[in-house]
Structure 1
């Protein structure tokens, strides 16, 4: 990251704040690991550029910057790589929670003939349901969100999506 005269206000704030510098280091390490595992590095890089634009929009607001880093670090790691590498088709769905969120269902190659992921977004808030195989090769749903009030409960929209597929699928609340 640029810390000299050419640095953006956000970069200068990050360099001047130990907590933000630490978060930046954590993200750099996660980025390196994730990029090494991605088969579509271009899509991953585009996603990172979009995030950098959001981060830089914070300017020198350290609270905003910390929020952007925590949100980016909460993206589901290897599951993110799986989604980027394997998403093929999407369809829009209804926001059953009336959150004003955009809702999209995704087909992921290699997970039968079903929609294997659903993502809801409103601004920078995300709710994601994703089907995965566990160690016993059984399907389960992982639920991710970067919205603190929704960390311990699954949205009705994502619950309904899971129920349409198989109401008996176990749900893992990911952190």
Structure 2
């Protein structure tokens, strides 16, 4: 279907003021597509939208090339709308965009260290570029996806604000835009000398230090509200962050007939799927069930079962039981029923 933008969004893009009294950058009474409706219906994502709108208005007058930024914002809106009503996707898109805009007023230089704005909790990259002469730059890029790594270095040919590198089936294009650097990749992970699932493509911002990770169950979209997040923090304690970290790769699990209407997510860390894996089931009335595989102090794998539903404390729903039994069949995997 064709993309539609509310009048307020268009106005924001053109840097005009909006007096709409909503917790977002556009008038929710005019929300038409699934993305806008999802944003308006979710307080956390709506607050991210409002924060982005304020940052956009403050950033546009300060960048070196406002026209390029307006074009980039329109492209971002198209990408955002591809999330439809997927809150996990939307929240990550907003967080990434907020980070991008926060660095776009930095003067651009090819002599810099760059950090990738990561998609997910266990992906990332660091890029070092340096001008070699008037027509070339050198580069050295590191990438990660879970436990898998990659590294590539070489010399790229400059053409205005773009540099291009090609060797064999691997090609990288570096595109400067205001204070950020886009890297496009042609060729597979293996073609570019990287482990499975590791790609160097993405948007990078100039920084000597890795970008601070602020991921939680809200930001990765596993819970909807701050209250649900608080419930799981209290329930899981030290395992809360382990659950966040296990969510880097995710698929929808099978429904559980003994808990009608529950949603199921199966999660793992690429390259560490047998160690950092979990299955998470939840309902709209904030009931939770979770099995999380962890490594104990002796290096032995254990499965920990959590739920905030008293009647389920001593038993697993069928979907979680099947998931656990499949992994236990491959070797010793003790199941701990957590308080």
Q: TM-score range by the shorter chain?
A: 0.5 to 0.7
Q: Residues 7-156 of structure 1: matches in 2 within 5 Å?
A: 40-43=213-216, 46=219, 50-52=224-226, 54=227, 71-99=231-259, 100-108=261-269, 111-113=272-274, 116-123=277-284, 124-156=286-318
Question: Distance between the aligned counterparts of 1:137 and 1:114, measured in 2?
Answer: 10
For the pair 1:173 / 2:337, whether they are aligned, the reply is yes
Aligned length in residues: 122
Tell me how large the CA RMSD over aligned residues is.
Answer: 2.9
SS of corresponding position for 1:74? helix
Q: Whose Rg is larger? A: 2
Shift of 1:162: 1.0
* 1:141–1:171 CA contact under 8 A, matched in 2: yes
Question: Distance between the aligned counterparts of 2:242 and 2:276, measured in 1?
Answer: 14
Aligned to 1:13: none
1:72 and 1:132, CA in 2 relative to 1: closer, same or farther beyond 3 A? closer
* 2:303–2:333 CA contact under 8 A, matched in 1: yes
State the Cα deviation string for residues 37-71 of structure 1 (Å, max 9, x = none).
Answer: xx732436748x9533x48xxxxxxxxxxxx96x3
* 2:292–2:305 CA contact under 8 A, matched in 1: yes
Question: Distance between the aligned counterparts of 1:78 and 1:135, measured in 2?
Answer: 14
Alignment gaps of 5+ in structure 2: 1-211
Question: Distance between the aligned counterparts of 1:113 and 1:134, measured in 2?
Answer: 14
Question: Distance between the aligned counterparts of 1:135 and 1:104, measured in 2?
Answer: 27
Tell me which protein shows more helix as a share of its residues.
1
Question: Distance between the aligned counterparts of 1:146 and 1:157, measured in 2?
Answer: 17
Alignment gaps of 5+ in structure 1: 1-38, 56-67
Question: Distance between the aligned counterparts of 1:94 and 1:80, measured in 2?
Answer: 23
TM-score (normalizing by structure 2): 0.32
The range that moved more, 139-148 or 110-119, is 110-119
* 2:290–2:306 CA contact under 8 A, matched in 1: yes
Question: Distance between the aligned counterparts of 1:109 and 1:138, measured in 2?
Answer: 20
1:133 and 1:42, CA in 2 relative to 1: closer, same or farther beyond 3 A? closer
1:150 and 1:132, CA in 2 relative to 1: closer, same or farther beyond 3 A? same
Shift of 1:119: 0.3
* 2:280–2:290 CA contact under 8 A, matched in 1: yes
SS of corresponding position for 1:163? helix
